[in-house]
Chain A
Amino acid sequence: MIETQEQFERAEEASGNMKRFLLVARHTHTPEAYTALSAPILRELQERERDILAYLSRSPEVVAGHEG
């Protein structure tokens, strides 16, 4: 669970890195291989983005106890 601004930024960076990995892979692998190799990454990415959205869905006051 993301509880601080710093964790949020690191999660965003990780998510961006995973997307960049996919962007490179889709150009360097055959379509069939890309379909197979991207499946677990897309699922992981979806879970990580869900964590990011969960953090963004809470107001700063709600998470202030964690960030203070």
Chain B
Amino acid sequence: MSLPATLPNGFLPPGVYMAPLHAIIERFGRATPRRQVLAERLEELLRVAGATGQLQRAFLWGSFPTDAPFPRDLDVFLLMQAGFDREFQHLPPTQRDVFEHERARLRCDADVFWATAAIGIEELTTWLSVYQLSRDMVPRGIVEVIWDD
């Protein structure tokens, strides 16, 4: 599935769209210096989360996957493998930062939400439905990252 055109309101149409990271960066991470910075932050965030060896899925929403020239930040949900919660407290600080909200904001300009797969597919699906509606009550799409390698 490729990324569709944005709607006149700047959002992707409601739905969950799968795309490789390089395609997401190409589409949303090039147009302005702010977008370039956020794209770098996103790559760093996913690289660090992936380095745990337990990152299963990643989703993006908010102002980054839109037409806005100056997105405020990144909004990311990381689904980690079941059992990651037991290893979480033993992560080195550089990795743990990604999973601690305030630290992730400082380091990656990102609101990072996460859970392990123990949450269950039903709750994950519900989560995705919640975030397909902005706080301004505008329906919008979510992007799921497909890993390039």
Contacts and interface: CB of A to CB of B under 8 A. Distances in A.
Contact of B114 (A18, A37, A47): A37
B85 A14 contact: no
A29 B65 CA distance: 30
B85 A33 contact: yes
Contacts of B136: 1
Contacts of B58: none
Contacts of B99: 36-37
A2 to B, nearest CB: 6
Contacts, number: 73
A34 B86 CA distance: 11
Contact of A33 (B88, B112, B113): B88
B130 interface: yes
Interface in A7-35: 7, 10-11, 14, 17-18, 20-21, 24-25, 28-30, 32-34
Interface residues of B, number: 27
B101 A32 contact: no
Interface residues of A, number: 29
Given A20-B123, A25-B115, A36 B88 contact: yes
B137 A7 contact: yes
Nearest to B88: A33
Interface string A25-62: 10011101110110111011001100100000000000
B137 A40 contact: no
The 7 A-B residue pairs with the shortest CB-CB distance, nearest first, are: A33-B85, A28-B118, A29-B85, A7-B137, A40-B101, A39-B101, A33-B88
